[in-house]
A and B are shown apart, each in its own frame.
Chain A
Amino acid sequence: GAVVSQHPSRVICKSGTSVKIECRSLDFQATTMFWYRQFPKKSLMLMATSNEGSKATYEQGVEKDKFLINHASLTLSTLTVTSAHPEDSSFYICSAPNAGTGPNLKNIQYFGAGTRLSVL
């Protein structure tokens, strides 16, 4: 099946620094990827849609200057948390849709393993 690789799995940083998280589709091309944030024992909240070749679209309430998204190629999207603060500490997960045909198959998402960000 399709594999999405997310790196790093865990990062600890000081307040004020920037952190980059990578999301790669390993055996398929993904013109669109999604970035989610998840708080402990909570559901996933969609942050933004990463679009290859164009700007990312952000969900309401998500600061685009805080969470920079770059879809550099058909297999790579990056999320940069700029000037991180303790309140940015969270679990960040990326996903890419199934590349198969058919309206239902395209809705199936393949997820990265997530990145645990801790800002001190």
Chain B
Amino acid sequence: SQQGEEDPQALSIQEGENATMNCSYKTSINNLQWYRQNSGRGLVHLILIRSNEREKHSGRLRVTLDTSKKSSSLLITASRAADTASYFCATLRGTSYGKLTFGQGTILTVHP
């Protein structure tokens, strides 16, 4: 089964609002990553949070990790129309570095 389930599947907000996306996973992890994909394009790495970290910030991004609940959240503050994209969480498969399992993704639409 797919490791990394995200909700909501789709999120539509107005510019300036905050967007929160959640991700759950099934097995133990060393770290969890979030990626962004613009429509019809490749993915871009946003942020990596280690298993011993609970929260991490990068610009307008805030990621939390709860290993006891096997879940993570990505918060985008003060959203902009340019944030419109799909967002995926990803975890490492086994011990093979770089071999990632992606969540189903959240399609975020930010209306100007």
Once A104-B30, A108-B33 are accepted as A-B contacts, the answer to whether A93 and B99 lie under 8 Å apart by CB is no
* Interface residue A32 (Cβ < 8 Å from any Cβ of B): yes
Contact A109 B45 (CB under 8 A): yes
* Interface residue A44 (Cβ < 8 Å from any Cβ of B): yes
* Interface residue B104 (Cβ < 8 Å from any Cβ of A): yes
B: contact size bracket: 20 to 34
Query: Which of A6, A44, A93, A103 is in CB contact (< 8 Å) with B97?
Result: A103
On A, residues with C-beta under 8 Å from B are 4, 6, 32, 34, 41-44, 46, 49, 91, 93, 95, 97, 103-104, 106-114, 116
On B, residues with C-beta under 8 Å from A are 2, 4, 30-31, 33, 35, 40-45, 48, 50, 88, 90, 92-93, 96-105, 107
